[in-house]
Amino acid sequence: MRLCLFSALATLAFWATVPAMAGEVACLTSINGEKRPLVYDPDEPNVRANISWRERNFGGPKGIECPGFVTLNAILKDMDPQITYAEQAPFCLQFDDLRQTYTGVAVGARNAAVICRKPSKTLCQRVNATRDTVLAVAGFAGSVATGSNAAATAAGISAVAEASGVTVLSGTAGALGTAATSLGSGAAAALAAPAALAATAVTVVVAGGALYACAE
């Protein structure tokens, strides 16, 4: 009885530290094995459109209360507080079934819970880059997406321009590293970062004024 009372009091004390405005919902998620409290508005249009019926009624995977989209938004906001909902469109959540925890974000198709349909070891990180570097990479990605960069295409580099304004650039670390040398030292350093991890396939996302490199 005392144990139950202590547990109830501890839970109440925990949620008391999570600020929530009227209409908002407090929930717990798990990121890299650590429980994290989040707060979200279920009636916000972007949130409502990205929460499945199952999540709305039963929460996320076992032991996780927050909908996947809410966790995705939290992880991406940690990387860049300025990222918009539209700019989050290419990303999906990586989930570890054995540990029952989210491990980060990748680029790819999502299931109804915003988890990557094809799980892999690939994870995305924001690249420290100046505005000029972002513009240089964006211009390069745009030329690849429109098919006007024959050399990049021949090197196996591809790009897709999303309706949200985000461009997703893909290729081998070697090909992207070589292409980046023509964009200036800043871009070369930004695109070479995944290569330093000995990654084979690399995806670079240009979203707003930020760059994200995705590799193993």
7-35 residue pLDDT tens = 333 433 444 444 555 578 999 999 999 99
Q: Residues near 9 by Cβ (< 8 Å), separated by ≥ 6?
A: none
Which contacts of 117-121 are long-range, i.e. CB under 8 A and separated by 24 or more positions?
A: 117/92, 119/94, 119/95, 120/94, 120/216, 121/216
pLDDT of residue 4: 38
- Binned at pLDDT 50, 70 and 90, residue 2 comes out as very low
Let me know whether 184 and 163 are in one domain.
Answer: yes
Q: How many domains does the chain have?
A: 2
Contacts of residue 37, defined as CB under 8 A and 6 or more positions apart, other chains included, come to 14, 15, 17, 18, 26, 27, 28
Structure tokens at 165: 């304004």
User: What is the β-pairing status of strands 210-215 and 167-172?
Assistant: unpaired
Looking at the fold, whether 103 and 180 belong to one and the same domain comes out as no
More confident residue, 45 or 180: 45
- Are residues 104 and 168 located together in one domain of the fold? no
* Residue 212, SS3 per DSSP: strand
* pLDDT the model gives residue 17: 45
pLDDT at 122: 87
The model carries a pTM of 0.83
Residue 36 confidence class, pLDDT cut points 50, 70, 90 = very high
Q: Name the 3-class secondary structure at 192.
A: helix
Same domain, 111 and 189: no
Listed residues 120, 137, 167: the one ending a domain: 120
* Tens-digit pLDDT profile for residues 105-129: 999 999 999 999 998 888 999 988 8
Q: What is the mean pLDDT of the chain?
A: 84
- pLDDT for the residue 207: 93
Cα 196 vs. chain centroid, distance in angstroms?
21
